[in-house]
Every structure is written in C-alpha cells, then in structure tokens.
A and B are shown apart, each in its own frame.
Chain A
C-alpha cells in the first residue's frame, strides 16, 4: 500500500498504573478506504482511535496519520480530520444551525451548513437548541460536526449508538456518499451488520492485540467460513464442517430424512465471536 492514510506499526500503550491497553497493534488504511475496528469494550479500540486523533500519547511504536505523527499534529493537520467522538457530553446553549455554522468557520474549506444539516436529517430541527434534542438527534449533530469541515479522514467512534433503525439506514446512505467523494473513514462499531455494510476491511482487536485483519468478507480466513452442517442422530447433535454441504446433505438423506437438519454459513458475527471468545479465554487464563 503506497498511499496509506493511516499507518500503525507495533503500537503499544501502557497507562499509568501499568494497565497494558495495547500490546503491539499494526494496520494500515488506504486512501478512500473505510476500515472498521471491531472488538469488545475495553479491548483497546478507543485507545487506538484516540492515539490516531492525537488525544493520547503512545508508549511505543510508529503511528502516521496523513503522513504526520499525531503527537506533533498542528492546526493544519487537524483541519484535514473529522472526529466523531464516542460520547456526546455537552449540550451547548446553541441551535443546531448556530453550532454548525460556528464550527464550519474553523475550517478552510467547509461544507455548506444547510446541506450538512439536511444530510443528517435535522432540517426540521435546524433552529432548535441542541439541549432540546433527543439523544439520537444529538448524535446526528455530532456526525454533522465531524463532516462539516470536509475531512480527508473521518473518525467515527460508535457513531450510530442511540439511532433508530431508520436513522441508521439514512446514516449508512450518508456514509456511502462520503465514500463516493473519496473520504477515508475509520469506523468503530458494535453493530457487525453496520461494519459489513460500510467497510471494505476490518481488524478485530481483542486483549490489546489484532486478532484478525483483512477484507471484511474474508475476515478470519477461509477456514472460519466453511459452512457447518448440523443434524441429530440417535438423539445426539452432530456437526460437520464441509466445503460441499450439498453433497453431505445428499449422503445423509440416503437413509431417510435427517432429523433437525441445518446448513449454517458463519456470519461476520459468528466469526467475530469466535475470535473475541477465544481471546477472552486466553486473557482470563
């Protein structure tokens, strides 16, 4: 990858008090790519993303974001980033439009404020004080503030928490439009359907290391995706993994209809859980 927007190599972070949050994380994100960072709470996702955003200093390793070390990122560097933080804490005494117009002014080449408000579906609420919005609507303001500066690289840390299904769909549409414009996106989410829908590649972080890394539909390698055929024989549940489930089912059916027959193709969620589950056991051990 010659045109990496984000380059992370052997990133380590030990907090004061000795907690090792990251124990050697490496990945790259190419220009225009949407990359998902998956993992359970406390696995190190937020620590990683906050190091990339320049909020935290790393203990060791190499980090480059837009060819800059985030610990030395200046204002011109920040102008090329869009950051949607995980938590929406504050509720300023400003209307949606005032808040966006104010933040747009910080950037050299901002988007049109009303277009951004429309893109997050808050046109009806443009003149409403942010304090009077619901949690999901405030989250949409966060997303709007993240994209108003026309960022080259957008960080989305659990952006759709608190969204209803309809809002999540329109958020996905918005992200696809940003992708079409060439925006590079780093996404963390607990919704694996969202990751599968939006990102081209992903890393699963568990216990401070990268447990799996690759194209989202190949994550975990071919082995993890081998279909499972499950049936009952003499009251015992039997399972077999096979590349040719049809042939196996045909063979089983020769002696009559198998009891409770299922063919299961592992979903991203199954693969995710297999990694997170085994890692969790390792950490506990």
Chain B
C-alpha cells in the first residue's frame, strides 16, 4: 500500500526533476532526435536498402534512433543519475527516511517509462511530420513495438541501476558510462547498418541487448523486404525476447546484490 503510494509520489517527483535538468534533457532526451535530424539532412539525397525497396535516410534511421533512445533513457540516464545521487548525498538522505528502496525503484522505472514514451513519440512525430516517414498501419506491428519498447526500456533501466554501482564517484559516472553506450550504439546497428558489419563484430554485439532492440524496432518500422537483409534472414522476434529477458534477469540479480543506499565504511 505505502510502497505503491510512495512509489507514485516518487514518479511525479522524478519526472519533474528530470525535465528541470537541462543537461539530461539534452544528452538523454533530445540526443536521438538530434542524430535523426543530422542523418536525415546529411543523407537526404541517398537511399538505403535493397533495390525495389529503397528508403530515405529518415525512414532507415528511425528504428535505430528509437532503440538508442531506449538505451539512453534507460541505461545511460539511470546509471549516471543514481551514481550522482549516491555521490551527492541524495541516497543517504533517502536512506534515513522510511522510504522503501522498492518505492525508490518504482519512481526510477516510472521516470524512465514516462520519458521513454515521450521520447519515442517525439521521434516518430518528427519523422512523420518533417520527413514524411510512413508509419505502419498493421496493429500486429504496433503490438511488437509495445513489447519491444516495454521490455527494452525496463531492461535498460535495470541494467543502468546495476551499472550505477560501478563508478566510484558521481563525477566519474559519465566517463564510465558514455563510452559503453557509445560503443554499443556503433556496433549494434544504430548508426551503421548492422548487416554491413564484420561477422565477429556482429557476434560481439549480439551479446548485448541493444543489437536486439534495434532489430526489434526494424521489424516494426522497415518494410518486409528488409527481413531478408538481416544476417540471419529473419527478424528473430522470439530471440529478441529471450536475449532481453535474460539481460533483465541478470540486471535484477545485480541490483538485488549490489544496491545500497550508501557505501558503508567508505
């Protein structure tokens, strides 16, 4: 009862705090939109994809940017945010109140969900309005979008909370997290077409969730002809669910084992 009421109160508090911080709004919330704008404008005369099913840059990059948004809103946002809160005394203060860590996590996950949904909506809206991207009309595809989004954003948020234990100080958090996030985006088919990468690099990327999320978003937004371009020749939706689900379980275990309000004896 109290857990949920306090959790709901945390969601409101967290979302308000998020949008009042200019740097997170820019680097987490608007960053994928910025990249979509740059790619769409820079490659405005190029086409992407197999002959007969060519796409504009905006159409081609939208799924990748949606997947990147999940990673940024979930993993990057949570890991830096919580590392900062641990370092600046926010967690210590909360740890001295009757707030349950469960309510705290409800607040964090809620913040990620709300900002993630707004971010995706904004990306799709700009793609449609500014670049004339046609979104799918098939409800089945939107159902895929819904579960890929929810599973992806939750997994990324939980992994971010787990990752927040890694940096020793809030200041080093960005230095630890940004390279991980950046490398993942380059090898997972966000900025560079996944099928164009060498096989060994594809295998490395397949060990991490972002590759699967990008693939899921391609399954939603790209025409059927693109399925054959995938390295396996299929969208592999069950594998996406499996890979993300495994990472979610790993993340939950890591969080359960490592999360403390403060570093005792530090």
B87 / chain A contacts, CB cutoff of 8 Å: 89
Size of the B side of the interface (Cβ < 8 Å), in residues, is 24
Question: B87, B90, B98: which has the most chain A beta carbons within 10 Å?
Answer: B98
Query: Would you call B97 and A102 a contact (CB within 8 A)?
Result: no
Among residues of B, the one whose C-beta sits closest to the C-beta of A92 is B17
A46→B264 CA distance, assembly (Å) = 14
Query: Would you call B96 and A106 a contact (CB within 8 A)?
Result: no
Query: Would you call B17 and A93 a contact (CB within 8 A)?
Result: yes
A57 / chain B contacts, CB cutoff of 8 Å: 264-265
Q: Which residues of B (2-35) have their CB < 8 Å from a CB of A?
A: 5-6, 9, 13, 16-17, 20-21
Chain B interface SS verdict (over half): helix
A106→B102 CA distance, assembly (Å) = 13
- Is B85 located at the chain interface by the 8 A CB criterion? yes
Interface residues on A, range: 20 to 34
Among residues of A, the one whose C-beta sits closest to the C-beta of B18 is A93
Among residues of B, the one whose C-beta sits closest to the C-beta of A88 is B89
Q: Which residues of B (132-191) have their CB < 8 Å from a CB of A?
A: none
Query: Would you call A85 and B17 a contact (CB within 8 A)?
Result: no
Mark each residue of chain A from 52 to 94: 1 if its CB lies under 8 Å from any CB of chain B, else 0: 0111110000000000000000011011010101011110111
Query: Would you call B90 and A93 a contact (CB within 8 A)?
Result: no
Mark each residue of chain A from 99 to 119: 1 if its CB lies under 8 Å from any CB of chain B, else 0: 000110111100000000000
B21 / chain A contacts, CB cutoff of 8 Å: 93
A149 / chain B contacts, CB cutoff of 8 Å: 97-98
Nearest chain A CB to B219 CB, angstrom units = 38
- Is B202 located at the chain interface by the 8 A CB criterion? no
Cβ-neighbour of B92 out of A55, A75, A94, A103 (below 8 A): A55
A94 / chain B contacts, CB cutoff of 8 Å: 13, 16-17
- Is A22 located at the chain interface by the 8 A CB criterion? no
B9 / chain A contacts, CB cutoff of 8 Å: 102, 105
List the 4 closest pairs (A to B, CB-CB), nearest first.
Answer: A89-B89, A93-B20, A83-B96, A79-B98
> Residues on B close to A: CB < 8 A?
5-6, 9, 13, 16-17, 20-21, 85, 87-90, 92-93, 95-100, 262, 264-265
23 contacts between A and B (CB under 8 A): A53-B96, A57-B264, A75-B100, A78-B97, A78-B98, A79-B98, A83-B96, A85-B92, A85-B93, A85-B96, A87-B89, A89-B88, A90-B85, A90-B88, A92-B90, A94-B13, A94-B17, A98-B13, A102-B13, A106-B6, A106-B97, A106-B98, A106-B99
Contacts A75-B99, A85-B92 supplied; 11 other A-B pairs, CB < 8 Å: A15-B265, A56-B264, A78-B98, A81-B96, A83-B97, A85-B89, A87-B89, A90-B90, A92-B17, A106-B98, A149-B98
